[in-house]
């Protein structure tokens, strides 16, 4: 996820400054509630981080660390071993995973990680990995429920995710409470989908492409460049999102693997060039995790930094990914839970860790001078590390970052569209209005930088975590029964039997 990482050279104007000044007290007040800090000794961190990591640990214990026991099952499912062409849904297991990953893998995996290890030292990488491994179970729970309670209309369009399972989870509290909480969740997803997923990603894309083409002196440095770029970019986005999740999946199932492979290869090039430094880097990571030097708060401080980066990166517990995963073709909801648990593994354990290792082994002056400060932009740290491959290589990094932002944008447009449909109806006219709105904000994002509105959208997104995880707690027995039956049927060889039923009827869940 790409939150709170505005580009240093993002275009600004007096209008930007005026709107940011007006919105500043609103964003500050709301953010102060959502990111309410708690203090452990000398360390202060947002309570939402503890809420997310605590849930990941509870789910991991409750489900017997299924993210490790079920890893082989996950690989079987994503290869289509237990699927048929007639399974209900819109997209394949692989496409669902690619679509969800496109919403999380992005600038945050580069810039956010750079800042994390600059602030917390190499040891932050260790705790980032631990948090990512725990978060795999949270994704397993929420995405299983997203499929379990989905609806498929007469046109084959799927409506699933938190908008379907939260009303059932909160039904014990009363129908009005369930409606209010689910409504707040939908509004929050909608806000971030339009602003954080639309305007902000467009802003980042233009800033990165502008930098890669010569900055203010390049052909995108002119006064009208941002407007023209924004219009072209909005048209490209519109062409993808008009087709719904099927169109998005057809793009992401090619774009995400290509981007991921390119980025990992790039990291491996840096690691190969600095091969002699790899053992020392691993030593610094483990030593820094348990005996950090010069980091405020010691072990707890570096642990919090790693946990925070992981929680903000893979979105486990937010509920957003369950929207994409709910469109999968399957008769067995928990099968997609097994696929979804791979998401934090790819996002955090692989990509974030590769970024951290690349920065550490390159050991560029920008990193060593910034260690413990976190004042230099995370993209700059990664860019300097990649420059050890070739002086021109950071240009490719900038292009990769732009593609990451584009994939994030189209996926979050779909998440926002599902929230819009929940709030305003599923009619073609209502959905079209939202898609036009997204494209308009793409153009605005390229010509303006309303940082305070983006901060407000970030807070709205993490408000979802409080609501979503509470619902997951209420329904986790349902997921456990689904899981046990699925594994038993797999062992008995009856997963493909046409008369296989889901584990628990809806009326038994409350």
pLDDT tens, position by position, 66-125: 999 999 999 999 988 878 888 888 888 888 888 888 777 766 677 678 777 777 788 888
Q: Over the chain, what is the mean pLDDT? A: 81
Instruction: Say what the pTM is.
Output: 0.85
What pLDDT sits at residue 466? 93
Is residue 118 a part of any domain in this protein?
Answer: yes
Per DSSP bridges, beta strands 37-40 and 43-46 are: antiparallel
CA torsion, ordered 394, 400, 406, 410, to nearest 10 deg: -150
Q: 348: which residues sit within 8 A by CB, 6+ positions away? A: 128, 129, 131, 132, 135, 310, 313, 314
Taking residues 288-310, what's their average pLDDT? 71
Query: Per the structure block, which two tokens stand in for 122?
Result: 């190499």
Is residue 315 a part of any domain in this protein?
Answer: yes
| Residue 472 reports pLDDT greater than 70 | yes
Split into its structural domains, the chain has a count of 1
Is residue 2 a part of any domain in this protein?
Answer: no
**DSSP per position, 420-467:** HHHHH-S-HHHHHHHHHHHHHHHHHHHH---HHHHHHHHHHHHHHHHH
Calculate helix-pair angle for 111-120, 378-386, nearest 10 degrees. 100
For the chain, the farthest-separated pair of C-alpha atoms sits apart, in whole angstroms, at 67
Residue length, the chain?
A: 510
Rounded Cα distance between 208 and 399, Å, is 7
Cα radius of gyration rounded to whole Å, the chain: 22
Q: CATH number for the domain including 471?
A: 1.20.1740.10
Query: Per the structure block, which two tokens stand in for 268?
Result: 């491996």
| Residue 9 reports pLDDT greater than 50 | no
Query: Per the structure block, which two tokens stand in for 189?
Result: 């997803």
User: Residue 44 belongs to what domain range?
Assistant: 35-489
| Residue 292 reports pLDDT greater than 70 | no
Is residue 20 a part of any domain in this protein?
Answer: no
- Cβ neighbour number for residue 368 with a 10 Å cutoff: 9
Is residue 14 a part of any domain in this protein?
Answer: no
Is residue 398 a part of any domain in this protein?
Answer: yes
Query: Per the structure block, which two tokens stand in for 210?
Result: 């502008």
Three-state secondary structure string covering 382-396: HHHHHCCCCCCHHHH
Rounded Cα distance between 113 and 111, Å, is 6
Cβ-based burial of 213 (10 A; exposed 0-12, middle 13-18, buried ≥19): middle
CB–CB of 27/456 below 8 Å? yes
DSSP reduced 3-state for 43? strand
**DSSP per position, 78-137:** HTTTT--TTSSSSB-HHHHHHHHHHHHSSGGGTHHHHHHHHHH-THHHHHHHHHHHHHHH
Which among 73, 90, 119 is positioned nearest to 303, based on CA atoms?
Answer: 119
| Residue in the structure block whose two tokens are 């007639």 | 86
Per DSSP bridges, beta strands 158-159 and 151-152 are: antiparallel
Is residue 8 a part of any domain in this protein?
Answer: no
| Residue 183 reports pLDDT greater than 80 | yes
pLDDT tens, position by position, 108-167: 677 678 777 777 788 888 888 998 999 999 999 999 999 999 988 877 888 889 999 999
| Residue 304 reports pLDDT greater than 80 | no
Is residue 16 a part of any domain in this protein?
Answer: no
What pLDDT sits at residue 307? 78
CB–CB of 483/63 below 8 Å? yes
């Amino acid at each position: 996820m790409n939150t709170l990482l505005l580009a240093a050279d993002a275009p600004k104007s007096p209008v930007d400054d005026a709107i940011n000044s007006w919105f500043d007290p609103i964003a500050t007040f709301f953010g102060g509630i959502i990111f309410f800090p708690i203090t452990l000794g000398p360390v202060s961190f947002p309570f939402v981080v503890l809420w997310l990591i605590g849930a990941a640990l509870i789910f991991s214990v409750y489900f017997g660390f299924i993210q490790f026991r079920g890893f082989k099952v996950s690989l079987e499912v994503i290869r289509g071993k237990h699927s048929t062409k007639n399974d209900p849904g819109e997209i394949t297991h692989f496409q669902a995973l690619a679509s969800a990953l496109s919403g999380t893998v992005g600038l945050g995996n580069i810039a956010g990680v750079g800042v994390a290890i600059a602030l917390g030292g190499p040891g932050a990488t260790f705790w980032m990995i631990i948090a990512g491994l725990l978060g795999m179970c949270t994704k397993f729970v929420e995405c299983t429920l997203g499929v379990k309670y989905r609806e498929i209309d007469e046109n084959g369009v799927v409506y699933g995710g938190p908008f379907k399972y939260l009303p059932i989870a909160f039904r014990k509290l009363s129908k009005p409470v369930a409606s209010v909480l689910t409504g707040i969740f939908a509004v929050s997803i909608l806000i971030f989908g339009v602003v954080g997923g639309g305007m902000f990603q467009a802003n980042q894309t233009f800033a990165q492409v502008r930098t890669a083409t010569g900055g203010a002196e390049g052909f995108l440095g002119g006064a009208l460049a941002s407007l023209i770029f924004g219009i072209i970019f909005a048209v490209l986005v519109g062409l993808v999102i008009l087709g719904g999740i099927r169109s998005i999946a057809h793009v992401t199932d090619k774009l995400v693997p290509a981007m991921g492979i390119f980025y990992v290869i790039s990291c491996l090039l840096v690691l190969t060039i600095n091969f002699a430094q790899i053992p020392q880097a691993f030593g610094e990571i483990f030593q820094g995790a348990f005996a950090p030097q010069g980091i405020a708060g010691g072990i707890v401080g570096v642990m919090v930094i790693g946990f925070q980066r992981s929680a903000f990166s893979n979105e486990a517990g937010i509920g957003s990914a369950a929207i994409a995963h709910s469109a999968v073709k399957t008769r067995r909801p928990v099968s997609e839970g097994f696929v979804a648990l791979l998401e934090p593994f790819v996002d955090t354990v692989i990509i974030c860790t590769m970024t951290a290792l690349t920065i550490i082994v390159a050991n560029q002056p920008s990193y060593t001078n910034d260690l413990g400060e976190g004042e230099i932009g995370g993209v700059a740290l990664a860019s300097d590390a990649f420059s050890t491959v070739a002086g021109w290589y950071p240009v490719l990094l900038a292009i990769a970052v732009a593609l990451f932002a584009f994939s994030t944008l189209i996926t979050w447009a779909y998440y926002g569209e599902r929230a819009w449909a929940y709030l305003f109806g599923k009619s073609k006219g209502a959905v079209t209005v939202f898609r036009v709105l997204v494209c308009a904000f793409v153009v605005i994002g390229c010509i303006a930088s309303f940082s305070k509105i983006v901060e407000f959208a970030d807070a709205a997104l993490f408000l979802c975590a409080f609501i979503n995880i509470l619902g997951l707690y209420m329904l986790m027995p349902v997921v456990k029964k689904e899981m046990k039956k699925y594994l038993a049927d797999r062992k008995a060889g009856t997963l493909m039997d046409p008369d296989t039923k889901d584990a628990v009827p809806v009326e038994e869940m409350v």
